A and B are shown apart, each in its own frame.
Chain A
Amino acid sequence: MYLNYIIKRLFSAVFVLFSILTLVFFLIHIVPGDPIEVMLGETARTTDREALRHALGLDLPIIQQWLIYLHSFFHFDLGTSLHSKQQVSQLLLEHALPTAILSLASLFVAILISVPLGILSAVHKDSILDKFSMMTAVLGVSIPNFVMGPLLILTFSLWLGWFPVSGNEGVTSLILPALTLGTALAAILSRMIRSSMLEVLQEDYIRSAYARGLTKFNVLVFHALRNAVLPIVTILGMQLGTLLAGAVITETIFAWPGIGQLIIESIQKRDYPVIQGCVILISFTYVLVNLVTDFICLSLDPRIKLDS
């Protein structure tokens, strides 16, 4: 049963990835703008432009280019950057690690803020604490990363002098970008945890737990939160996309050398192989995380039926 489910999910994941690969390939070739122009500038001679176009295979019919790309892709070759001539896989490796670190740190920040805030709001429903924390959550969702980032820099770097403004030099450089990304996610998560907890707290087994003389902490964390966390795990998986999209902006603000910065620069330079590599990596991560999320849900709640 499990094996069937896994195979079915893997097949659909491969189909999704293939569709993305194809869609992105054609979309970036349709978009106006020419990598040759960016590489050679305006002053280059027409013959040189054509020679370079030929050398890079950009003069071939688009379908042929696509087939060549697919052939290389299935041979684990993502090509080389049109500009730096570096292997795309090497570029992705260099930039994926900082993004992964940033995303995990943001996730950690989000959980650290949202779990206590959500539980407290649910337990003390309609209290000042609840209203305050939910108001903070609304603020967190409403403030975009490009505002939150500079605000945090202004406060913690300039006024308090605690952290560097930007860069990638140790743990201190990670804190502000992680806070920027994490607070927005925390805002969504704390609201989710609150509503999920409120629902669970009404259940009979919670009352039974109290009746058995368990402490409030035990009931809340081991009985209520464990059951309330299910929908949140699903949301977390889905939020990964938001986290990666947010990373594009946050990395630019904090000069964090991750995938976000790489994709923006390659789009500006129309560096097709690098754009494709980035998009594939992001979609692969997204599909993988959703797959893992499903399996986590399965293990958290065995009542979830596989065929449904």
Chain B
Amino acid sequence: MENAIDVTGLSMHYDDFVAVDNIDLQVTTGEILAFLGQNGAGKTTTIEILEGFRQRTSGTVSVLGHDPQDAPLSWREKIGIVLQESEPVPELTAGEAVRMQASYYSNPRNAEETLEVVGLTDSADQRTRKLSGGQKRRLDLALALVGDPDLVFLDEPTTGFDPSARRESWGMIEALREIGKTVLLTTHYMDEAEHLADRIVVIGAGKIVARGTAEELANKVDARTRITWKPGAGDPSPPEQFSVVTNDFGNAQVSTDDTLASMHALTNWAIEAGVDLTDLNVARPTLEDVYLELTKDTGR
């Protein structure tokens, strides 16, 4: 099947600043792909090029078979967009806002049904200015879905949400998968990408630094268990065999594949040497660590 999105060698320069540097990106029809990166990494620039809001410097881009830069207006019939910051018209009710948006499409979904999908049926007659932050985000999604798109862009759909609102949004985004939409979402939350996406593409300083499933990404970095503790001032140095390093927090750190044996050896040494091993901690790296590791050299 043809890819919903096909990007080769995409670059975007603003004067001397390289916002996006020669990236390739494919999104298969029907998949949810997370575009993960820190603020300023080039996520929004890329997604806005794909949405047809920005003119790229170079590269080839195909979205649903068209180059967004010179696609006909009818191309937009099949694309739904949730922008990072856009307010609904405050004077309209949620229902009216969805009906107005529906009037822009030739084959829209039923407005009431769309409100139901995002769980806004009870607030349909509320003026949009009276909606809570979470309800406004649901309305954003309803506005993006009412045209019955095949492809949905979500630019940081949960930034600024409290944890329960995020969980709720995730439920809605998962519902998109069930109705067969292709989704490209940007996020700077690793857990969000892991939870929602079939595949993750990590961008740092305008370059793609890694891509794959959450599991594949985890395997790309040092996934060994880390044993850490806070070294005391007069502690003797631990034996060479442990290859102790000092981590970012100033703690002593041992990386190991055999947690049990290492712990045994380490605690034996500590008891004999009279070392306290204050704040002793044993942990597998989280995906958050993986992500920070992948993007740490990029600076943005």
- Do these two chains interact? no
Residues of A within 8 A of B (CB): none
